[in-house]
Amino acid sequence: MKLMKFGSSGIRGIANQEITSELAVQIGRAVGAVCNRVVVGCDTRRAAEMIEYAVVSGLLSVGCRVTRVNMVTTPTLAYAARNHDCGIMVTASHNPPEYIGVKLFNPDGMAFDREQQTTIEELIKDRNPELASWKDMQEVRTDKNAVSDHISMILSKVSIKRKMKVVVDSGCGAASLTTPYLLREMGCDVITLNSQPDGFFPGRGVEPKEENLFALQALVSSTNADIGIAHDGDADRMVAVDERGEMVSNDKLLAFFGEYEAEKKMVVPVDASMLIDAVLPNVEIIRTRVGDVFVAEEIKKTGADFGGEASGTWIFPKVSYCPDGVYAASRLVELLSSTTEKFADKLSSMPEYVIKRGSVLHRGNMDKIEEELLALNFSGIDTIDGFRLTFDDVWVLVRPSGTEPLIRITVEGKTKQLVDELYNKIYKIIKG
């Protein structure tokens, strides 16, 4: 068995090829070596139960106390972790249907950090767990209230000011049994799409991006709904469609949430749009490494009020350090219900920037590229994740991919000409 490494989103791969029940038993034993009480949940994937039962078996074999919450969203599991030493979510998030994975959470909803994941990896590698005596093996508990507890927590924090008509596209993922019910409890008129849990994901691609959401867009406009909501497979992500049926840019949604949530500080990744700075001139914008786990860690470290990523992850530390797409959906509906301004009008009032993203095949080292980048006449530099250089009215991020032999380029600026010029200049530097 090849040793799988935990990444910033836990461990993920193709079921029965990279992620096997043998590996899942090892993960269960490793987690059980450092945690005594563990809550386990899974998403709607075909391989989820196979992996879940194996994880539970591993946990029990080292004498761990296990509570199962069955099929839930990732934020539901992260919320359930508050009563345990750790939460284990069996999910492959927004990956295609053949994938499965495991993600580990602390009681405060924060995903395991690098150090904690390394500990688990080393315990798996050692393959020398201290197995429990038969007398110390525990019974598995089942908690059927995890979803309603999560919903009740959210209901205690949000309320709508007027009736809202909402279309929810759960993508046949774990949100199917959560978000539509929550919004109905809030008093919304809810129309569902792809809200039957199904591991074949027959309705649409699992990732909530525009090419997968044309049915949601059409349904929002044909039903004259106020808003459309879509999740990924485990609902830590949420994206929106405005009342015209147009996709809301996630950069704009990040700024929109920021206006209400961020009093002093807000955390975004280094590739976030300059729109955030323009819309929130009085908020300290902290940029960190790309990845929602890094955003969450930085929020905790700096005591920021809010943070998120343009992938559709929104982190409200007053609720959890886990990105909660279910809470984000209800909060968005609440905010829209409390204003008479049309969402589309609000969005079009925000500044528009041109953004261009691409990548260059590159296997060599970064030294020569770094040298040439540093010789450019920039006004600001951030090296927390690759090189982010700021010029007048345009910036670029040059970042080696963590998983492929690629260097990724993001350029954003006030005009297409500025963006194209800088993009081409950087492209030539990388090509050499």
List of residues contacting Mg ion (CB under 5 A): 93, 232, 234, 236
DSSP 84-112: SSEEEEE--TTS-TTEEEEEEE-TTSPBP
- Residue 258 CB, shortest distance to Mg ion, in Å, is 21
**Spatial distance between the Cα atoms of 194 and 181, rounded to a whole number of angstroms:** 14
- Residue 352 CB, shortest distance to Mg ion, in Å, is 28
Count the Cβ atoms, other than its own, within 10 Å of residue 213: 25
Q: Which residues does residue 240 pair with via DSSP β-bridges, in sequence order?
A: 229
Of the pair 93, 194, the CB lying nearest Mg ion is at 93
Query: Which residue has the closest beta carbon to Mg ion?
Result: 93
Of the pair 175, 407, the CB lying nearest Mg ion is at 175
**Spatial distance between the Cα atoms of 197 and 209, rounded to a whole number of angstroms:** 19
- Residue 323 CB, shortest distance to Mg ion, in Å, is 8
What SS3 state is found at 345?
helix
Q: Look at the block and give the residue holding tokens 């250089």.
A: 389
Of the pair 74, 106, the CB lying nearest Mg ion is at 74
- Residue 1 CB, shortest distance to Mg ion, in Å, is 26
Annotated active-site residue in 9, 21, 93, 249:
93
| 349 is known as an active-site residue | no
- Residue 236 CB, shortest distance to Mg ion, in Å, is 4
Q: How far apart are the first and last CA of the chain?
A: 40
Spatial CA neighbour of 290 closest among 187, 410, 179: 410
**Spatial distance between the Cα atoms of 194 and 183, rounded to a whole number of angstroms:** 16
418-422's contacts with Cβ under 8 Å and 24+ in sequence apart are 418/354, 418/393, 418/394, 419/354, 419/355, 419/356, 419/394, 420/356, 422/391, 422/394, 422/396
Of the pair 234, 243, the CB lying nearest Mg ion is at 234
Of the pair 65, 150, the CB lying nearest Mg ion is at 150
Q: Which residues does residue 396 pair with via DSSP β-bridges, in sequence order?
A: 389, 411
Q: Look at the block and give the residue holding tokens 């999560």.
A: 150
Of the pair 234, 271, the CB lying nearest Mg ion is at 234
User: DSSP code of 140?
Assistant: P
User: DSSP code of 83?
Assistant: G
Structure tokens at 418: 């500025």
Spatial CA neighbour of 125 closest among 2, 250, 301, 36: 2
C-alpha dihedral sign at 211, 212, 216, 219? positive
- Residue 162 CB, shortest distance to Mg ion, in Å, is 31
Of the pair 81, 336, the CB lying nearest Mg ion is at 81
- Residue 226 CB, shortest distance to Mg ion, in Å, is 25
Of the pair 236, 297, the CB lying nearest Mg ion is at 236
Q: What are phi and psi of 394, to 5 degrees?
A: -160, 145
Strands 189-193 and 227-231, by their bridges, are unpaired
- Residue 171 CB, shortest distance to Mg ion, in Å, is 10
**Spatial distance between the Cα atoms of 206 and 94, rounded to a whole number of angstroms:** 5
Q: Which residues are catalytic?
A: 93
